[in-house]
Amino acid sequence: MATSADPKHVEPYIGAATVMREFTARAVITGAILGMIFGASSLYLVLKVGLTVSASIPVAVISLALFRGLSKTGLRDATILEHNITQTAGSAGESLAFGIGVTMPAILILGFDLELTRVMLVAMLGGLLGILMMIPLRRALIVKEHGTLKYPEGTACAAVLKAGANADDKAHASPSAQAEIRAAAAAGLGAAPGAKAIFTGFGVGLIYTTFNIALKGWKDVSEKVFGAPFKAGSVSVEVSPALLGVGYIIGPRIASIMCAGGVLSYLALIPMIKFFGESMTTPLEPGTKLISDMSPGDIRSAYVLYIGAGAVAAGGIISLVQAMPTIWHGLKEGLRNLNGSRGSTLARDETPRTERDLSLKFVGIGVVLLLLAITFAPSLEMNFLGALLIVLFGFLFVTVSSRLTGEIGSSSNPISGMTVATLLFTCLIFLLVGWTGRTEYVTALSVGAIVCIAASNGGTTSQDLKTGFLLGATPKLQQWAIMAGAALSAVCLGPVLLVLNDASTVYVPIHEIAPAGLHTDVGALKKTEGLKGPQARDDANSYLVWQKTDNVGAPEGRYLVNQKGEAVWLVDPGINGTHNRRPDGSLVQKFDAPKATLMSYIIKGILDRKLPWALVLLGVMIAVTMEMSFVPALAFAVGVYLPLSSSSPIFFGGFVRWLVDRRMRKKAAYAAMTPAQFTEETDKSPGVLLASGYIAGGAIAGIIIAIMQGVPWFEGINDGITTWSTAHNPFFDGPNSDLLTLVPFAVLCILLYLVGREKLLAGRLAGPMYAGRADAEGEQIPPGA
């Protein structure tokens, strides 16, 4: 008897014999552009909080709305398979952004330049490698394991595209799909694409952030620092639509756990360090000044960041260990099925359209060419051993990631843990062979970054191919589409990363950190550079670059020195920097990049053994304690590392989602659902789409403002606005500004709640289509079945 997993019993929405427009220039270009937009917003997010959210459903909804709107002007509407190509090309940006944001900023912490060519090469080579390595697994994981591996995001995206199908798509639908369409029509259930919610969210996020950051309408962080007897304790919230949207999408449990980690840092660890250290008369390493003179931010930078990094490392390893049985099973099944699928491939001219992949010959040649490019790219400092490790770890973790994505979804896929494992083994191997120089830092990070991006993109590719499998797409065309999207997103994300770093870089006058001055021999210094960003207006000189590697006289880091060897500026990077105030008094919001910091600590800790291990081990114990208490250690650890101002808006987003879900559960259409069905339905609800719009709009506005930093006319206007708002705007400055700035943020929360409750923008994607309808035998059909 055939099982449901038998591909012969899976009839896609568009049959294999049907030929319609699919891989068109407009579909690929639209997808690539949307991929760059959502990739940029995802990079912004991962630098702030170490998280991204899937872009497939938002891209699919925008594609439906965009081409439907163009059809009203006389152009042809896109087919459902064109929409699928658009979302496939558009999904690559988010997975690349995660891999780049998790790894590449570590290069700054290790003391190297964030070179554009290095970032672009890692992104492109890792992204394409992950796609090519996943292609031979498609038949094994997507086809043979259908019914076993759910691929939740890919299945949900297919439901969105089916819900938005036009009349021509429905006319060409397969018999089983036509029966489903008739049943939905009989039940009186429409299929609005839900574009209004995501476009509204994008507009609100864009306008809100522009008024908040560029026009100084209100403070961007509301903060309260406590005095005695709770000295150095503090609470704060960054009133960001992007972070609010993240909290709504990830849900109340994870949002609350992350914020709990921040509460531990800011309301326990920092006050404790202040209490016990305030009477000390000498600085406590690794701090460089008296604890009594430290602000909460200073204590966090000197001590709590190391505790948080230890917790994140332990949490990542714990998550990887927990997944090991699944990883081992997935690897065995993947290799076994891969063997079997090779023998069952039909002759090329006999292969149905829906079973045509790029050839194994193309894949093999492509992988070899990519590895050659990785080996000989000067900026990656690669060697033969590093390239061999990329092949081994890359194939292992692409296989594992592709299968785990099918079982638990992209959001729960432990890519960070896989990257930690790659770096640990790579650094230990380098240590054994005596490669502990600074060049090997870059080699190890390049190995980890390429494997991380490959694993991330492998999982995304498998989700896209699952969507195509359900819709009846041509896999070969999808594979071309995601490679095009990955290549274009890689070109875009490198400049975005550099712009965000430069815009938040602070050049610290040397007298602030070394009152007696700081000197070095200029004979070995070759590279020169000038100031970048807003401070370049005040100093147009060119300086020699000195990378200080010890803490004697001043902290290690990057210094700009004059021709006499006198240090003039400390370059405090925008990503993971510790100084947030420029000499003119203006405040700067830094990007904490929690997971990139972890990667740098692993490399430094193993290769040069200079970490403050006592603090790191305290963090490890915190993670172990959480896991023993049945609390997900990694989510809590990320909260310990992040500023409370970043995790608190995520908590508010999760709280709004809890309120919405609590009310929606009472509706008859949702009451009979299992938790998994309820999550599947609400994950494509108007509230989630509005939250996705908040993220994209808020992040894109932040990136545009960052790009404008340093442009003279913009800075002149910005200075004038800042001066006026400081003097006249009580929401921006004044005794009540910290309270008043919560008012516009509360409006964002209320709008999100009302849309989530379907009180506003109520058009739904594909609600519980079969709720309350019985089949011919009287058995209740579960919603979404």
Domain ranges of the chain: 506-572
* pLDDT band per the 50, 70, 90 thresholds, residue 778: very low
| Confidence (pLDDT) at 392 | 87
Angle of helix 152-163 relative to helix 675-682, nearest 10 degrees, comes to 50
Lowest mean pLDDT across 35-44, 325-334, 697-706:
325-334
Query: What is residue 141's predicted lDDT score, i.e. its pLDDT?
Result: 81
pLDDT, the chain, mean? 83
Q: How far apart are CA 71 and CA 28, in angstroms?
A: 18
Residue with the larger pLDDT of the pair 188 and 621: 621
Query: What pLDDT, on the 0 to 100 scale, is given for residue 544?
Result: 92
Say what the pLDDT of residue 192 is.
46
Higher-confidence position of 56 and 715 = 56
Question: How would DSSP label each residue in 152-163?
Answer: HHHHHHHHHHHH
What pLDDT, on the 0 to 100 scale, is given for residue 5?
A: 42
Mean pLDDT of 731-741: 92
- Write down the pTM of the prediction: 0.80
Q: What is the mean pLDDT of residues 91-110?
A: 86
Give a three-class secondary structure readout of 175-238.
Answer: HHHHHHHHHHHHCCCCCCCCHHHHHHHHHHHHHHHHHHHHCCCCCCEEEEECCCCCCCCEEEEE
- More reliable by pLDDT, 335 or 672: 672
Whether the pLDDT of residue 233 is over 80: the answer is yes
359-382 in b/e form (b: 16+ CB < 10 A) is: eeeebeebbeebbebbeebebbbb
Grade residue 755 by pLDDT with cuts at 50, 70 and 90. very high
Instruction: Give me the pLDDT at residue 107, please.
Output: 86
Q: Give me the residues paired with residue 204 across strands.
A: none
Written as six digits, the tokens of 674 are 């299992």
What is the rounded CA–CA span in Å between residue 206 and residue 200?
A: 10
pLDDT of residue 187: 46
pLDDT of residue 785: 29
pLDDT of residue 27: 94
CA angle 143, 144, 145 (to 5 degrees): 95
The lowest-confidence range among 22-31, 191-200, 219-228, 647-656 is 191-200
Mean pLDDT of 440-446: 89
What is the predicted pLDDT for the residue at 291? 92
Residue 776 pLDDT > 70, yes or no?
no
**pLDDT of 4-45, one tens digit each?**
444 445 788 898 888 899 999 999 999 999 999 888 888 988
Q: Which residue has the higher pLDDT, 79 or 111?
A: 79
Assess whether the previous peptide bond of 509 is cis (omega < 30° from 0).
no
CB contact burial 175-188 (16+ within 10 A = b; e otherwise): eebeebbeebeeee
Question: How many Å apart are CA 424 and CA 765, to the nearest integer?
Answer: 44
- Position 345 scores a pLDDT of 45
Residue 324 CB burial class (10 angstroms; 0-12, 13-18, ≥19): exposed
Q: Are 420 and 102 in contact (CB under 8 A)?
A: no
- Per-residue pLDDT at 453: 92
How confident is the model at residue 765, as a pLDDT? Answer: 45
Least trusted range by pLDDT, from 323-327, 463-467, 512-516: 323-327
- Tell me the CA distances in angstroms from 133 to 360, 409, 420, 566, one per residue in order: 10, 19, 21, 51
Which pLDDT tens digit goes with each residue over 69-91? Answer: 888 888 889 999 999 999 999 98
pLDDT at 420 over 90: no
For the cut 60, the answer to whether the pLDDT of residue 772 exceeds it is no
Q: Which residues contact 400 (CB under 8 A, 6 or more apart)?
A: 327, 330, 331, 334, 418, 455
Structure token pair of residue 230: 């709770």
Q: What is the mean pLDDT of residues 430-447?
A: 87
In tens, the pLDDT along 607-645 reads: 877 778 889 899 999 999 999 999 988 889 888 988 899
Structural tokens at position 224: 């309260």
Whole-number pLDDT of residue 587: 81
What is the rounded distance in angstroms from the CA atom of residue 110 to the CA atom of residue 449? 14
Q: How confident is the model over 503-561, as pLDDT tens digits?
A: 889 999 998 888 888 989 888 888 888 898 788 888 889 999 998 877 778 888 889 99
For the beta sheet containing 557-561, the strands, ordered from the edge strand earlier in sequence to the opposite edge, are 506-509, 567-572, 557-561, 542-548, 528-530
pLDDT by residue (tens digit) across 302-323? 899 889 888 887 887 787 677 6
What HEC string does 496-529 produce? HHHHHHHHCCEEEEHHHHCCCCCECCHHHCCCEE
Residue pair 200/189 in contact by the 8 Å Cβ criterion: no
Residue 54 has what pLDDT?
A: 74
Provide the pLDDT for residue 338.
53
Which range among 204-213, 276-285, 677-686 shows the weakest confidence by mean pLDDT? 677-686
* pLDDT at residue 186, as a whole number: 57
pLDDT over 80 (residue 348): no
Least confident of 217-221, 445-449, 585-589, 730-734: 585-589
User: Of 196, 198, 30, which Cα lies nearest the Cα of 692?
Assistant: 198
The per-residue pLDDT for range 363-417, each reduced to its tens digit, is 889 989 998 998 888 888 888 888 889 988 888 888 888 887 877 666 666 787 7
For residue 566, the SS3 value is strand
Kindly state the tokens that stand for 151. Answer: 């691929």
Work out the average pLDDT over 430-457.
Answer: 88
Cβ atoms within 10 Å, residue 91: 37
Mean per-residue pLDDT, 760-765 = 60
| C-alpha closest to that of 41 among 217, 245, 258 | 245
Q: What is the pLDDT of residue 409?
A: 66
Average pLDDT over residues 447-467: 90
Over 70: is that where the pLDDT of 333 sits? no
Average pLDDT (425-431) is 89
